[in-house]
Structure 1
Amino acid sequence: METPQPAAPGGTRAGAVAGRPGPDGTHGAAPWVVRWRSRLLDPVLALLLLLLGLLGTGPASENQPGAVPPDGAAYAAVAVAALVVAVRRRWPRATLAVSALATTAYLVLGHAYGPILVAFIVAVYTVAAYLPVRPAALAAGPALAVLLVHVFFSAGAAPGLVGLVPGAAWVVVPFAVGVTVRLNRDAAARNRSEQARRLADEERLRIAQEVHDVVGHGLAAIHMQAEIALHLMPTQPERAESALTAISRTSKDALDELRVTLAVVRRGDDGGERSPAPGLAQVPALRDRLAGAGLPVTVEISGEPRALPVAVDLAGYRVVQEALTNVLRHAGPATAAVRIRYAPAEVAVEVTDTGRGGAGVGRGVGGSGLAGMRERVTALGGSFDAGPAADGGFRVYASLPVEERS
């Protein structure tokens, strides 16, 4: 039986968010679908129950000796109990009240147990599935009490005490089913909400990681160039001017890349094209910027360069960028070498330097440096390794599969 959430003000279902499933699996983005489904399905269900009642009440009476044959009043009660189901979603309490009175009147008149009880079960189920447990119980309790009147007072053969348990089952069973369905639906809604929050947190973490990589690299280079400028200013102002020019260029490049990174937050707000995310093709430009900051870098490429999945290309570039930034920050006077190897099934990047080896000098093991690189690589199904190189200095190595994980 259908048990969607009751409509909330404004036409969307309770708990539904535009573009996301509501508690019953429908989407708040199309409230008209919800309204029309409710308006069409319940009247159809009511007509089916009416047809069942009109056709099945007579045969049910024939199979129960001692029952009063159905007359006009019996069929009128059957019709009321069935047709009120048409508004069960809008007024569940009223639907149950009317159905309980019609069903009790039918049974008190001595008529046989028959299809009218199906309509009553639907009404009980609706209350339990639509309302919180306490209000639903407060509605179902009086309905049960009214229904059990026929056990002791009936124009036909009254069941007496032996009829209490079967009579109560007509309320207790559909009520329990409805409550179970509602609780499962609420749990599914909470799971969807938690998943949405988790995805949002992951997206914020990804953006924060991108900002860290961009800003951290830019500030490290600017800091180094500023130190050079301050050192040369008194004695060699012309060389200090070159360092200041490098600071200006580095800051502009970092700001441009930061704008591209933050554009993901505004994605979809307008139709304008955004600059592509950086990739391994930009490593030579990165080398040139670092050379201006006082870090000589060599780049060696083996294999045939080719287009890579965006996530793989970006991750490879960020590993190189962060590794070189760490060299600039922590290795002291040093040179660095970048090796990029394109293979049929993977792309590998390696960054080595000739500076102070070891992670204890602040290579970012416990922060966003090496840990962030490792997270990027492993998230794509790759492998990552970082540590002191055998011949001194430090080595960072990452291997990334060229196919994005589904």
Structure 2
Amino acid sequence: MAEPPPLREPAPVRHLARITDIALATLTLVFFIAVALAAGVHTPRQGTYPLALLLGALLLVRHRWPMTVLLLSIGGIFAYHLTGHWSPAGWIWPAAVAYFTVATTPRVRWVAAIGLAQLVYSAVDFRWALDTNPTRYVLHVAGEGLLLAILIAAGLAYAAAMRWRERLRETDSRARAAEERLRVSHEVHDIIAHTLAVVGVQLNVAADTLQEDPTAAAAALRLAKDVRNRAMTDLRSLVAVLRDNPADTAPQADLASLDTLIADARAAGLEVTLDEHGDRAAIPAVLAIALYRVVQESLANALKHAGASKAEVTIGYQPRSITVEITDDGRSAPGGAEATEGHGLAGMRERVSALGGALTAGPIAGGGFAVRADIPVAGSTA
């Protein structure tokens, strides 16, 4: 099966990311202007407004060009300070979102180097405060350094969380693919087992009656051919699941094909009676396929392994659960011992268990074999 394509973020997630970028751009613009005005800037049009607009606009493309956004933001801040403007917002904070964004990328080392260079320049530029207020100078430099460290650490943590989420998504995708392969293998086994059982019986009939009753032999061969053709159709639809385009798959056999299955078993020499209680049309498709396969495998086992002459299929369709029981008069394990669980029985058990049900199988008193499956209807309440 081809590897699944990378999962694209759902549209609501993409819209939320765009809204977040707009909100961060707006906050950066408004807060930078507010701080500058509060600090006593008297001519904001000459530097404050243009820098605020630049910082905000750059954040709208921060995911597409994170390093470019960071470098342009820092360049704008340098130009702002070198032209004689000053703001208590400092050097790091105006580019905080840009620093965080680049820290989430593999270029985090560049972020640390650029931030350190900016801190050094900030410390040199603010050295005039050493003479008048050393405490203020230390708090300014230490605060800028701490903010830079927090932004880088937050970016690294966010990137790690995103990588972990992506690994979980990939693991889930691989698990779904493995489950699909397992389901297909069960379907293929059931189809082949049933087909070989019915076709084998009909070929024996044709071989035994070829000389004495050619008409009966021809009828047996035609039936074997019909069963084979239906099996090939089922197999082609299952093989399509393994292709890149699952739209080519055909509907799988379900309870609508149950009558044909019973007719095939009867034609193969097994006297089958079907007793149904309830409305089969109301059964969900997943449960219907599982029930069909349980009946198919059980009848195939009765024909191929047990040498049974009679079988009874009883299905009860209730609102909260479905019960199916198949009994036959074939050979059971000697001394009433448990029958060896082969691939067919194990596949039935796994199929029913995956739907939250339980399957039991074993010899019955007086001879014969019985398979019983109880499957809850999803969404029902007790």
Relative to the length of structure 1, the TM-score reads 0.75
Deviation string, structure 1 residues 37-66 (Cα, Å, up to 9, x no partner): 75x87577445423322232242469xxxx
Question: Could you tell me whether the CA contact under 8 Å between 2:96 and 2:151 is conserved in 1?
Answer: yes
Q: Which moved more, 1:165-174 or 1:306-315?
A: 306-315
Alignment check: 8 A CA contact 2:307 2:331 kept: yes
Q: 1:269 to 1:240 in 2, by over 3 A?
A: closer
Instruction: Report what 1:173 is aligned to.
Output: 150
Gaps of 5+ in 2: none
| Distance change >3 Å, CA 251–CA 302, structure 1 → 2 | closer
1:104 positional shift: 5.5
Aligned partner of 1:379 among 351, 354, 357: 354
Q: 1:95 to 1:344 in 2, by over 3 A?
A: closer
Structure 1's 73 and 302: CA in aligned 2 closer, same or farther, altered over 3 A?
Answer: closer
* CA distance in 2: counterparts of 1:136 and 1:149, whole angstroms: 20
Q: How does 1:139-218 map to 2 (within 5 A)?
A: 139-154=111-126, 156-158=128-130, 164-218=141-195
Please provide the CA RMSD for this pair.
4.0
Residue type at the aligned position of 2:254 = P
How far is the alpha carbon of 1:167 from its aligned partner?
2.5
Q: Is the 8 A contact 1:331 1:355 kept in 2?
A: yes
The answer to which of 40-49 and 307-316 deviates more is: 40-49
| 8 Å Cα contact 2:254/2:292 also seen in 1 | yes
SS of the equivalent of 1:89 reads coil
In structure 2, the partner of 1:9 is none
- Would the aligned equivalents of 2:339 and 2:363 in 1 still touch at CA under 8 Å? no
* Equivalence for 1:3: none
Q: Which amino acid aligns with 2:346?
A: A
Q: Is the partner of 1:172 in helix, strand or coil? A: helix
The partner residue of 2:98 within 123, 138, 153 is 123
The residue type equivalent to 1:365 in the other structure is: E
- Superposition deviation, residue 231 in structure 1: 4.0
In 1, Cα distance between the equivalents of 2:252 and 2:62? 54
Letter in 2 for 1:313: A
8 A Cα contact 1:225 1:243, kept in partner: yes
> How many residue pairs end up in the alignment?
368
Instruction: Give the distance between the partners of 2:29 and 2:353, measured in 1 at CA.
Output: 61
Question: 2: CA distance between counterparts of 1:341 and 1:58?
Answer: 79
If asked which structure has higher relative contact order (CA below 8 Å, sep 6+), I would say 2
* Residues 124 and 174, structure 1, Cα contact 8 Å, conserved in 2: yes
Structure 1 pair 225–361 and aligned structure 2 pair: CA distance change class (3 A): farther
| Contact 2:32–2:89, Cα closer than 8 Å, also in 1 | yes
Specify the code of the residue in structure 2 equivalent to 1:148: V
1:370 maps to a residue whose letter is L
The aligned amino acid for 2:268 is A
Query: Structure 2 CA distance, aligned partners of 1:198 and 1:27?
Result: 25
CA contact (8 A) 2:199 2:224 kept: yes
Q: What CA distance in whole angstroms lies between the structure 1 residues aligned with 2:189 and 2:261?
A: 16
Contact 2:274 2:313 in 1 (8 A): yes
Partners of 1:74 and 1:285 in 2: CA distance: 82
C-alpha distance in 2 between matches for 1:178 and 1:192: 21
- Quick one: distance in 1 between partners of 2:150 and 2:78? 18
Letter in 2 for 1:166: G
Q: Tell me which of 219, 226, 245 is aligned to 1:249.
A: 226
1:397 and 2:372 equivalent?
Answer: yes
Q: Is the 8 A contact 1:331 1:356 kept in 2?
A: yes
Partner of 2:261: 286
For the Cα contact (< 8 Å) 2:209–2:216, is it kept in 1?
A: yes
> Partner letter of residue 288 of structure 1?
A
Contact 2:338–2:363 (CA<8 Å) still a contact in 1?
Answer: no
* Alpha-carbon distance, 1:187 to partner: 1.5
Inter-partner Cα distance in structure 2 for 1:144 and 1:115: 14
SS at structure 2 position matched to 1:350: strand
Q: Which letter maps to 1:157? A: A
Alignment correspondent of 2:273: 299
User: Partners in 2 of 1:73 and 1:238 — Cα distance?
Assistant: 102
Question: How far 1:223 sits from its partner (Å)?
Answer: 1.9
Whose helix proportion is higher, 1 or 2?
A: 2
Q: Which of residues 348, 356, 360 in structure 1 aligns to 2:323?
A: 348
Task: Give the percent of matched residue pairs that are identical in Structure 1 and Structure 2.
Answer: 32
C-alpha separation between the residues in 1 aligned to 2:305 and 2:236? 27
